[in-house]
Amino acid sequence: MNLKYIINNGFYIPIISYYFFNYDYFLFYVITIKLFITNHYISFAKFYDNKYIYFKSLIRLTDTGHIASIIYYFYPDFLPIAFNVHFIISIGYWLTVVLFDLKEMDDSKNIEINKFACRLACICNHSVPLSYLFYKVLYLDNINVYFDTLTLYYSFLWCYVWFIFIYTPWRFITGDPVYSVLSNDKPFCFSFSIILIMHMILFCGNFIGQLSQSTLYELENKY
């Protein structure tokens, strides 16, 4: 394993992130995972056909989850929306993987790319933030933020803004569908059904947040 391999695959990033952000593991995680993904597309751009691949780390809905995490970190009242965003990112991802065989559209087979590191980053992206935020929903000592209709509306707005102003222009310019379930070889009805399912997932996320908080409130008052 040479130095170029280590740098290109981002193995140095956790060390640097820990040096600067060891005082907070959540911030350490968010910065590390974001830098790792960005480093990947910059280092291995030559192995992809898309000439805009340098910007791919800013395009996916998952990438907006990093923004939601940072907003929550500095403004804890953003918790319900951050939770909802990560709920649709994580549950939507695993559901489409299991039921609809979702595949990575950027899946270069080049031996310079460490597949295990990429897979680990993908799994973390679609599990760690949601788990952490759900923990905060359940065990926040002084709950002053609530899931309601407004948080659901703002969460839908977040996803619509991404779809209209980020995903749509990206697909129009590059032809990259980002997600295999939305690719051109899929029937329109199938892709539309996926979008409807994502709406239901987001609704369920907000409902679970409401249910969790109301259950905690009842338990606290009961005991």
* φ/ψ (deg, to 5) at 104: -70, 130
Residue 114 has pLDDT above 90, yes or no: no
The domain total for the chain is 1
**pLDDT of amino acid 180:** 87
Q: For the range 172-180, what are the long-range contacts, defined as Cβ-Cβ under 8 Å and sequence gap of 24 or more?
A: 173/52, 174/50, 174/52, 176/50, 176/52, 176/56, 176/105, 177/105, 178/59, 178/60, 178/105, 179/96, 179/102, 179/105, 180/101, 180/102, 180/103, 180/104, 180/105
The answer to whether residue 102 sits within a structural domain is yes
The average pLDDT across 108-137 equals: 88
The answer to whether residue 19 sits within a structural domain is yes
**pLDDT of amino acid 163:** 96
Find the domain containing 86 and state its range.
3-215
**pLDDT of amino acid 220:** 57
The answer to whether residue 222 sits within a structural domain is no
The average pLDDT across 32-52 equals: 88
The average pLDDT across 18-40 equals: 93
**pLDDT of amino acid 218:** 56
Cβ atoms 12, 104 nearer than 8 A? no
The average pLDDT across 44-71 equals: 90
Band of residue 223 on the pLDDT scale cut at 50, 70, 90: low
Task: With H, G, I as helix, E, B as strand and everything else as coil, classify residue 126.
Answer: coil
The answer to whether residue 220 sits within a structural domain is no
Residue 11 has pLDDT above 70, yes or no: yes
The answer to whether residue 101 sits within a structural domain is yes
Band of residue 222 on the pLDDT scale cut at 50, 70, 90: low
DSSP state of 12: T
This prediction has a pTM of 0.92
The answer to whether residue 208 sits within a structural domain is yes
**pLDDT of amino acid 88:** 97
The average pLDDT across 34-39 equals: 94
| pLDDT over 90, % of the chain | 59
Residue 204 has pLDDT above 80, yes or no: yes
